[in-house]
Structure 1
Amino acid sequence: MECDSKQPCNILQTCATDENGSTCVQMPQNCKVANEKGLCAKCYPPLFLVNGYCIDCSSRCSECTSEEICTQCQPQYFLNSQKKCQVCVSNCLNCTSANNCTKCINSYILHENKCYIKRRDECDDNKICKTKEFCKLQEWGNECQNCLENCQNCKDATTCELCVDGYYFENGTCTPCQGSCKTCENKNSCSSCDDGMYLSGSKECIKQVCTISNPCTEGQFCEILDTGNLCTKCSASCKTCSTSTTCNSCQDGLELSNSQLCVNNQCSKNLQCQKNYFCQKLETGNLCQACPGNCETCTEANKCSECAENYFLNVSGICAEMVCSATKTCKESEFCSSNTSGNECKVCPENCKSCDSSGECNTCMETFSVNEGRCLNAAVPIGVGAIVGTIAGMLLVVSVLAGLGVYYSIIKKKKVGAPVLEQDNVKLATVPMYAGIGNGGTLVK
């Protein structure tokens, strides 16, 4: 295919010219620009040009003029004086020499031509270092570093603010105190003394002796030794003592036990344990211990004085579960009866649906009603026999009263001399009498 400026070749071809004219030929492999003869004039990096063809550079080169001569290096390499690519310092992206980094890889920070990983600060204003350490501020992350030897607190690696006991700061170092000084301001001035010594007005530590007229200071006791009496320090918990193991009074917050030890009581007369615990007295200090199960309050490990809800204290001093209570009801037609051996469910009276703790009915079964705490059957309608019996009874009463009236009249006439009718001629009114009074009874004359 012929080619010229008006008719260019496709993207993978180049226009080559010879004595026969211009034609489109295949672009050489990895070639960026070809010459008029169709040979490569410039390669894609990191390849280099040899006789019109593109050849690989060294793996460290990004550009080269031959396999051994680089003109530009890959990242993390630098071009040395022999035109070869040499590796940079660790974690360095670009460098000018082996120890002169100019740019670090991601997550690393450049400091004094070296790369440091950026890590979380080990210390800052809110996170302080341990004793005998200081916080060194660094661009790649703060870290705790050791103070000078025998330095308690320091600002940096060369400045001590407080030396450990027995040392003082002088000429950039912590120097030992002299003699029996426990702590000192300088070599000639003690601020506290070792045990058995006392601090004089001249800031010297002198051996302390004791007598009745020259007692020891508070926190010490007079120890009698073969070499002479000596003031000895009490234990740390004692305020005053008579021996190293016998306290007379205690430091604040501690209490004197029966064995004259100063103990840290969890509980006492003035400091009660929380609910469900009791105060157990021990030689090493009173402790709050848990009460037995289901026990609200107790005085000993196995001695309950008050039980939890729905439990009662039995004769053995143990909290046993109640069958029923104010919050644990019985079944229908039963009531909760209280007694010393534990509440129990009892049956309500007959025909009672619910009743109170004394056994009196509150509500009844159907067809029954409450009457003075009992359930009685509803009233039954009056029958015919009852009506007849009632009428018969009333007539009997009337008949008796009528007979008594007649009798009384006859007696009265006899007394006043009035004529009396012959009995044979007198017919007394016959009052009907009822036989078989009641249901189905009949009248008889």
Structure 2
Amino acid sequence: MSGTCWSGKNDCSNGYYCPPNVGYFSQYCLECRFDMPSNAKCKCNNTLQPSCKECNGDKCEDCIQNYYINGDKCEKCSDNCYYCDSSTECTLCDGGYYLENGSCKKCISPCESCISATECIQCPSDYYLSADNKCLSCSKDMPRGSRCVCRYTMQEGCAQCYNNDCQTCAKNYILVNQACKPTCTKQNDCLEGQYCDDNKYRSGQCYGCMDNCQKCIRADYCSLCNEGYYTAEDGTCKPCNNDMPSRSECHCAGKLIANCSRCSTTGCFRCIHDQATVKGQCLYNECTIDTQCISGEYCQSHTNIFNQCTKCDKSCETCTEQSNKCTKCFSGNYLTEKHGCAKLSENCLLAHPTGRCLKCASGFYINAQNNCSQLSQNCLQANMRGSCLVCENSYFITAQNTCQYCSKSMPIGSSCQCGNTKKTNCAQCDNNTCRTCIKGYSSINGDCKKDPCRDDAECKPNEFCPTSDPDATRFCRKCDKTCSTCRSDAKACTACESGKFLFQTKCETCKTGQPMDVSCQCGSKTIKNCIKCVGDACQMCADGMFLQDGKCISCSKLKLGEACAFQGKIVDNCKEYDSNQCSVCVNGAMAVNGVCKVCSENQELSGCSNKSVGKTVGIVVAVLVIIMLSIGVGIFVVKKVKKNKKNIEGLVSGEVTQGQALKIRASSPQMRDQSEHNY
């Protein structure tokens, strides 16, 4: 067991350490490792050894990174040293530094990783590594074949990047799907000893021909070998000698001479199979079989004494019996079912007699139409749908079946191509070995192994961390299928899937008879007292509840025309239900044989009629009150008018003074109008 520790108490087992800054709550001790924190102390036979990763009794035998063993104690290496033998003898530097005379020196900016002051091996984004191992800014004038660092990818011919994609290309490159493709329009664009890619508009980059080849049209076939060499059946260049196959053409004095085993600056001077040299050519005086003729000819039988070599049809490289019956075609062609020669489809190297392509040129794959299509960037092999199967070294296959540069940010479960093998969760590799893993994984014996989890927060929402397990088995595990989230145990649910409710850390199905006031999970919402959901909405409430505005409300608040749920049934206008019948109805309804009848539709019911009479009396009283109020208002108005009229008459007769008249007019619009009329 690893043991536990907390503030002021260390019960770790030997070979384990207490995590730094531990609080008052106990934590499990962790195994002493090379990459553990520098301020951690490994327990060695009940003695705490700082920065130690391996003990022997109470003595330290090996230290963590950036430290070295001095006697039985760990001492810090010099600055920027990752691994050292002493304080003055560093053997491996941190990133961005190089080793010189046992100490670490910073790489010259803008180099990110170097092996000496003048030799950079990795550049930052927007820079490329030059032929003399320096980091130079990506530009339109950078040399052909230069690869610009675009964040996590290397983009050939890219002058300006945006994240992993290219925005602008260098000279003699074109932008295709955010990547730069070099172009050449004809073979003459390349130097002698180089060839232009078959698909001129896809790539067109000039590549070097194979050894001893003077001219070639693709990587695996030489069309003209150097002097003293011939093109073999496999397309390579081999030296001319007496053991070479019959009909082989040796490059002599600027010419191709069949069956010549030795040549000089003026031509062939020795032939194979005892053929005679005639004017620098190798010829039989007569032929009996086709192999005695030079390439492009066949032995034609005659009735006379000598058989003669006759030229094949111009479409054939070799033929037999008849001039147009080919046995081999020139490069770029294939042998048809009728023994003729036809041109291969674009980027196809080998075809079936029916014309179906069997092998594509490098950088292409056979598609569903049996033709050759271009592979996606950094892909080496794809299926007939174009989905990448094998990426270039240090690339991984994405969910979209394309290749992306391996990094610490790539998705969990991704497999990085490391040499001839794939390494899952590897961010950086060297040949077949993984050096750096993605977050949450560590490199052990060249493979990435998942780090033990420490708590539930390090797991996915539907997973938990078994904190009581030892490091070797303490990995995130799936919650019970009924839980959407859980804690510490598979069945200790903290949230449920749709259609279930959480009850004492368990998820139960929402249904009739469930405990009151529990909340059912309806999609992304939780609805109290709901027993049936459709998506995010409640479709049916628990007994004694009715659905209103998406919520379950108590039946005590039910109104006329609404229905409530009782014993799994929906009952209209009922507020209380007992013994399979309604006992209390809403206002405006009456219980008849356990069923609520609406009074307005059942006037003959005695209980409903009393309610109707009371309602009618109330209406009559209200009408009488209104009539009496109207009469009172009328009497008041009549009296007011008579009084005003008397004042007007006084004004006319002179009994009222002018000042009084003005006050009367101001107080009454009717009097003002009347007085004006009298005047």
Shared fold, TM over 0.5: no
- Sort the TM-score into its range (normalised by shorter chain): under 0.3
Higher relative contact order (CA 8 A, sep 6+): 1
TM-score between both structures, scaled by the size of structure 1 = 0.27
Larger helix proportion of the pair: 2
- Structure with max Cα Rg: 1
TM-score between both structures, scaled by the size of structure 2 = 0.20
